[in-house]
Amino acid sequence: MLVGGGAGVVAVVGLVLAAVGVIGFGIPVLAAIVAVVCFLLMRRTLS
């Protein structure tokens, strides 16, 4: 859960920075994918 939450925060902050032009869109997209995968694995484990 900690990794998924951290990846979610990185994705949101990265998207904001990418929109401003500080960084590219690659890191936020990868972080969003990691967050979704972690969420799905956690959901699968708990059910």
3-state secondary structure the chain: CHHHHHHHHHHHHHHHHHHHCCCCCHHHHHHHHHHHHHHHHHHHHHC
| Cβ(32)–Cβ(11) below 8 Å | yes
Domain count, the chain: 1
Alpha-carbon distance 25 to 29, whole Å? 6
- The domain of 9 spans 2-46
pLDDT at 30: 92
pLDDT at 5: 86
pLDDT along the chain (47 residues), means of 10: 84 93 91 91 88
pLDDT at 1: 65
Give the position of tokens 């956690």: 42
Alpha-carbon distance 11 to 38, whole Å? 13
